[in-house]
Structure 1
């Protein structure tokens, strides 16, 4: 009887430790931050579409309907060129402030072998794109699970070499609806990344919520930042060029009016657009954009709606203004936020 008890106890302990190990594996690293053992919000609680509160269900996340992915991409590029022509956005690197220039050049990945420039945007499949570049440039013989390494960035080149590449290389970037991208950043960084919780999370709780160190006994300080607190923090960052790259506007990271990208891919058409871009740069036929792991589930439409319905309308209206360039430049519908919390397209 005693031996049986110890056998059962050992089995329970083994299963428990195995489960903790499996949950600790980081299949989609976004940076060098320390990850939590358990991904509390791997993709967050998926909302029931029939029970979404305060929401007009006809709100679109894209204004392009009924178009093929090629037609959509071409239309987005044409709309971008029209918007740039009618605005005062910087059109030359010389027009940028030093900090803006630094941000842009550090976000342009260079492939001299295939002669392209890729502006990476966090939370728009950038880690997998960097892994693709690693394979193309021979940094790695296969797609790696760890954070991408060994890449070259435009900031490493001389002024003359930068200008030459801007004029002769194929240039592309991928964009995503600002609402979806911000929510993805929040759920990943404040639900999984311990370093972010201990730094940004603690700062946000002290400024916008309640922070009592004794209440975090046995927990990670800053692991309870609400979505509204996160939004309030974003609104109070005065200079967007000093924002963390995971929630800085795409306009700030990639300067589309200046760069004149040949391709503007969409997160919604990720695989189709990626295949077309790889073909355009004459990548080997056996190099494909990596598929998502079978367990990965993108944030659902209803979940996006649910999180934004928890935020005060006043903050949401200010958020739309803060990210207005990303809405207008990349042709995403600018939401209007009613006093009841409904959102609908303009």
Structure 2
């Protein structure tokens, strides 16, 4: 009984999260299929903070903007004006784990405190839709995927062309059907903004120390703030 050991509510919830994660990983061994320890791209979402000896898996649409700013502020005392300014992080030495050699990666994976931030997958999907597809042609993600999903899932009416339908934009139903189609094929065509957690952060293969939920981030992130000295 975790309570009998005197753990706080926060620590008990962390223990429950890891127990749930372990259970799902054991029941679904295929969740490990996307992890290739020798492929540097496996680690392309893990931000390295050598100053505080932290690794953070930056999952898009799961408070990544907030966490990027937390790390940057801990180095500079300033917030990022452009949060996706990769050169701004690199100037401070904040780079992703795939940029290191395998021995350097292995050492950090072994010794650093590892953080994963998760969000309810349907909320994350809706966030991706709102950010990329509600304004057709305004985002590169739409230009890459929007026409394809309309072509695949919309039945053309008489006297209409595919281009005319594309100009109307995609529907949320078409977007969900498209995402499901990608997941049931090879899954590798997923855009990072909706690619499942296990394909980016590999929680069944990488042993994280902290699981932060977007829904309870105010409480969960206290551990991170403390480690960053904020």
- TM-score by shorter chain over 0.5: yes
Q: Give 1:71 deviation, angstroms.
A: 2.7
Structure 1 residue 243 corresponds to structure 2 residue 181: no
CA distance in 2, matches of 1:91, 1:214: 40
**Range that drifts further, 72-81 or 171-180:** 72-81
Partner of 1:199: 144
Whichever structure has more helix as a proportion of its residues is 2
CA distance in 1, matches of 2:167, 2:45: 28
CA distance in 1, matches of 2:181, 2:23: 31
Runs (4+) of structure 1 moved beyond 6 Å?
Answer: 90-93
CA distance in 1, matches of 2:176, 2:111: 40
Cα pair 2:54 2:113 within 8 Å, conserved: yes
**C-alpha distance after superposition, 1:106-148 (max 9, x if no partner):** 000000011000001111001121121122234xx31123133
TM-score of the superposition, structure 2-length normalised? Answer: 0.79
1:201/1:153 CA distance change after superposition, 3 Å: same
**C-alpha distance after superposition, 1:173-229 (max 9, x if no partner):** 11111111111111211024432232211222222224847648xxxx556211110
Partner of 2:17: 76
Structure 1 residue 144 corresponds to structure 2 residue 144: no
CA distance in 1, matches of 2:213, 2:74: 21
Structure 1 residue 230 corresponds to structure 2 residue 175: yes
Structure 1 unaligned segments of length 5 or more: list them: 1-66, 288-346
Structure 2 unaligned segments of length 5 or more: list them: 1-7
CA distance in 1, matches of 2:140, 2:148: 12
1:187/1:69 CA distance change after superposition, 3 Å: farther
Structure 1 residue 173 corresponds to structure 2 residue 173: no
CA distance in 1, matches of 2:181, 2:27: 28
- Equivalent residues in 2 for 1:225-304, closer than 5 Å: 225-237=170-182, 238-279=185-226, 281=227, 283-284=228-229, 287=230
Please state whether the residue corresponding to 1:242 is helix, strand or coil.
coil
Count of residues in correspondence between the two structures? 208
